[in-house]
């Protein structure tokens, strides 16, 4: 089938044809295009728009092509895209007198819009399943580390004790939202543009409900101009993927930091590490680093897509073709990054001793010493904050450790600051400063106590 023997006399130059062809990226929509043609021809037959016999021959050719696969097509770049390549295949099989009916009441404009949606909805699920598996793995890991106390950070400075489990469940919660975001987008992806034809539907009495049903869409798009020009669902999906890989990238950032000599909290498995070609002692977190960088590419793809979209008028413009490869690239990066990062995170080795050491250092439990003053002595939290702040300052100056903090030291400071003596017992003081006790006392939903983390794991 040569489209150019009608309106156009001359062939495109070879470089122009190659430049504008989408055949390479169209491999992603090959099966969807076969499916789309199949549903359309079935509907044409059902509505008696084309003869039964003709329809059956076309359907047979499409079935054969489905079995033979993409490789059965002609890859000559003079063929503009997959739609023409498939029409050519059917024409070769059953002759133009039959194949010529396949395109009745259909345009490549509604066809490509349909194909992308068909492929994308599968790809979304292919990403959602490993997200769920990763969450499951994190829950299992968390259940093993409910009492593995470590230090939590704000501003990357020691803040308050947490458990590794609480940290892993934070990952799980973010991933859950990433999953839900994709589910929400899926609803808008799973709508049928077929029947919009070039932009105004058609005068043939097509049955859009039938193709919607045959292709498993939830509904059809109600405006044919919107049907062929809408790509917001692509931008939305890529945003979801960028958010997902941002979650993964943040994890990678922690893996890189935690595996340093300075932090020493974890060891990344050898399978996800590299060494140096010159420094024999090195164990480098290359997988985490590459994942951190690759996720950035999706942010770029999102901007590219949004920028192409903003400048084109309704309805179909060929610019739209240039959006699709950025979608598939984002899908691939998100898929691969999710796969590798989940394996890497779930195979880390945690150094519990180092975790506890960090949790007990640097007066990270100071908030609870202030809290105990409020609870037992009913003084305002701001007063307690001031006393403990001074206490930490002095302790660092004097080289004191948690075990050295006693009532007379605290009351001396309270006195200096013009407050009454508190007379706290040594036990209360020490209990409030103990990292594990500190964590256990946080019995509020969402908190790090083993019971609350278990509750989160169960949900």
Q: Are 286 and 259 in contact (CB under 8 A)?
A: no
Report residue 399 as tokens.
């080289």
Other C-beta atoms closer than 10 Å to the C-beta of 292 total 21
Cα dist from 401 to 360, 361, 391, whole Å: 9, 8, 11
E strand map for 64-185: 149-154, 157-163
Q: Are 369 and 429 in contact (CB under 8 A)?
A: yes
Tokens 């003869």 correspond to what residue?
51
CA 283 from centre of chain? 28
Cα dist from 102 to 1, 47, 180, 297, 336, whole Å: 12, 14, 39, 39, 38
Element (H, E) at 349: strand 349-350
E strand map for 100-224: 149-154, 157-163, 191-192, 219-220
Q: How far is the CB of 320 from ligand ARG (least distance, A)?
A: 5
Between residues 133 and 322, which has the closer beta carbon with respect to ligand ARG? 322
Q: Are 451 and 443 in contact (CB under 8 A)?
A: yes
**How far from each other are the two terminal CA atoms of the chain, in whole angstroms?**
58
Decide: helix, strand or coil at residue 163: strand
Between residues 108 and 145, which has the closer beta carbon with respect to ligand ARG? 108
For 259-323, where are the alpha helices, taking DSSP H only? Answer: 286-310
Q: How far is the CB of 103 from ligand ARG (least distance, A)?
A: 12
Report residue 92 as tokens.
């070769």
Between residues 44 and 199, which has the closer beta carbon with respect to ligand ARG? 199
C-alpha closest to that of 112 among 354, 317, 271, 368: 317
Q: How far is the CB of 455 from ligand ARG (least distance, A)?
A: 49
Other C-beta atoms closer than 10 Å to the C-beta of 313 total 6
Between residues 112 and 172, which has the closer beta carbon with respect to ligand ARG? 112
Catalytic residue among 96, 183, 276, 425: 276
Decide: helix, strand or coil at residue 285: coil
Q: How far is the CB of 77 from ligand ARG (least distance, A)?
A: 12
Element (H, E) at 410: helix 407-416
Other C-beta atoms closer than 10 Å to the C-beta of 279 total 8
Element (H, E) at 267: strand 266-267
Q: What angle do CA 362, 387, 392 make, to 5 degrees?
A: 20
Catalytic residue among 5, 155, 203, 277: 155
155 catalytic per annotation: yes
CA 105 from centre of chain? 38
In the complex, the residues that contact ligand ARG under the rule CB under 6 A are 22, 81, 108-109, 112, 316, 318, 320-321, 324
Other C-beta atoms closer than 10 Å to the C-beta of 127 total 21
Between residues 107 and 163, which has the closer beta carbon with respect to ligand ARG? 107
Q: How far is the CB of 189 from ligand ARG (least distance, A)?
A: 17
Q: How far is the CB of 109 from ligand ARG (least distance, A)?
A: 5
Between residues 264 and 325, which has the closer beta carbon with respect to ligand ARG? 325
Q: How far is the CB of 129 from ligand ARG (least distance, A)?
A: 28
Between residues 3 and 417, which has the closer beta carbon with respect to ligand ARG? 3
| CA dihedral sign of residues 278, 281, 286, 287 | positive
Q: How far is the CB of 105 from ligand ARG (least distance, A)?
A: 15
Between residues 232 and 401, which has the closer beta carbon with respect to ligand ARG? 232
Q: Which positions are catalytic? A: 155, 276
């Amino acid at each position: 089938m040569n489209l150019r023997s009608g309106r156009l006399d001359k062939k495109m130059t070879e470089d122009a044809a190659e430049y504008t062809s989408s055949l390479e990226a169209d491999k992603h929509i090959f099966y969807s295009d076969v499916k789309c043609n199949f549903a359309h021809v079935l509907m044409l037959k059902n509505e008696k728009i084309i003869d039964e016999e003709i329809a059956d021959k076309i359907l047979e050719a499409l079935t054969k092509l489905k079995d033979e696969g993409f490789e059965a097509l002609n890859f000559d770049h003079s063929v503009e895209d997959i739609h023409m390549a498939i029409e050519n295949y059917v024409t070769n099989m059953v002759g133009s007198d039959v194949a010529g009916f396949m395109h009745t009441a259909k345009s490549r404009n509604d066809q490509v819009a349909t194909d992308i949606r068909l492929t994308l909805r599968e790809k979304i699920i292919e990403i959602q399943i490993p997200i769920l598996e990763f969450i499951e793995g994190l829950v299992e890991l968390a259940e093993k580390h409910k009492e593995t106390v470590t230090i939590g950070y704000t501003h990357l400075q020691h803040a308050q004790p947490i458990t590794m489990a609480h940290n892993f469940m934070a990952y799980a919660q973010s991933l859950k939202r990433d999953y839900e975001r994709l589910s929400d987008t899926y609803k808008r992806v799973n709508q049928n543009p077929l029947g919009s034809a070039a932009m105004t539907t058609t005068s043939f009495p097509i049955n859009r409900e039938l193709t919607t049903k045959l292709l498993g869409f939830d509904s059809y798009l109600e405006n044919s101009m919107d049907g062929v020009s809408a790509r917001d669902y692509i931008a939305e999906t890529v945003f979801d993927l960028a958010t997902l890989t941002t979650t993964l990238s943040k994890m990678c950032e922690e893996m890189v930091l935690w595996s340093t000599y300075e932090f020493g909290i974890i060891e990344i498995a050898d399978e996800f590490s590299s060494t140096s070609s010159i420094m024999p002692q090195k164990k480098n977190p290359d997988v985490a680093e590459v994942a951190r960088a690759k996720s950035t590419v999706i942010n770029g793809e999102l901007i590219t897509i949004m920028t192409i979209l903003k400048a084109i008028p309704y309805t179909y413009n060929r610019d739209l073709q240039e959006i699709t490869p950025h979608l598939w690239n984002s899908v691939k990066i998100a898929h691969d990054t999710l796969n590798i990062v989940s394996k890497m995170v779930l195979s880390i080795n945690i150094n519990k001793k180092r975790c506890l050491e960090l949790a007990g250092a640097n007066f990270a439990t100071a908030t609870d010493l202030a809290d105990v003053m409020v609870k037992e002595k009913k003084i305002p939290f701001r007063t307690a904050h001031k006393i403990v702040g001074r206490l930490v300052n002095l302790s660092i100056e004097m080289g004191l450790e948690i075990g050295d903090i006693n009532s007379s030291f605290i009351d001396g400071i309270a006195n200096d600051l013009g407050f009454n003596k508190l007379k706290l017992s040594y036990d209360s003081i020490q209990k409030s400063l103990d990292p594990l006790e500190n964590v256990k006392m946080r019995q509020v939903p969402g908190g790090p106590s083993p019971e609350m983390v278990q509750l989160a794991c169960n949900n």
